Structure 1
Amino acid sequence: MTLDLNTLLAIFAMAAATIFTRVGGLVLIRYVEIDERRRTAIEAIPPAVLMAVIAPTAFATGWAETLACAATAIASHRLSMLASVVVGVATVALLRAAGL
């Protein structure tokens, strides 16, 4: 297997962008006063990211995956991120086993 220089540079650039984004957020948040409105917005980010990740699956696959995505979306309103993902995985596994 050979590794192209452009591919290697792209990997390093993406890693640097990820690290700078995370560190930058941690540094900048020290200078922001977190009121209730901002706290609510920040708490809405994980479910929004989860939906952005699973939405393509809901529309590009079968009924089992679509229903599991809906179950995950509903679960994310009340449960933690990990519990919501577990609900989605269990739902798709059960629906596939049932032949849907």
Structure 2
Amino acid sequence: MKLDAANLAAIIAMALATYATRVSGLWLLRFVRVTPRMQAALDALPVAILTAVIAPALMKGGTADILAAGVTLLAASRLPLLATVILGVSSAVLLRHLIG
């Protein structure tokens, strides 16, 4: 990819849009009383988003992807989210390399 002015402008615009959505969410939450139920929903969002991203790929995937999903599920029952994501990605890369 050639980094010309149009590509650079697009990258900067996307970065600003991403930053603006994150900051606006935090800013808006200052005006809302967060109930325990709302907090539970917010706490569940990362796992729900990861599931929505991974599930379609898993349905189309092969043996390596299914085995990596099993490793990830086992890790999720014992490890924090970041460690689970790292282990899941690592196992997917390794198993795809070994199994194909």
TM-score, normalisation: structure 2: 0.71
Q: Sequence identity, in percent?
A: 44
- The list of structure 1 runs, each at least 4 consecutive aligned residues, that deviate by more than 4 angstroms after superposition, is 94-97
Residue 23 (structure 1) shift: 1.0
Aligned: 1:13 with 2:19: no
Gapped regions of structure 1 (runs ≥ 5): none
User: Alignment partner of 2:30: what SS?
Assistant: helix
Aligned to 1:65: 65
Change (3 A) 1:86 1:27: same
Task: Supply the distance in 1 between the matched residues of 2:13 and 2:43 (Cα, whole angstroms).
Answer: 29
Deviations 1:61-88 (A, max 9, x none): 3212123224435654664211322442
How many residues are aligned here? 99
Task: Supply the distance in 1 between the matched residues of 2:28 and 2:75 (Cα, whole angstroms).
Answer: 31
Aligned to 2:28: 28
Gapped regions of structure 2 (runs ≥ 5): none
Task: Supply the distance in 2 between the matched residues of 1:45 and 1:74 (Cα, whole angstroms).
Answer: 20
Note the aligned Cα RMSD (angstroms).
2.9
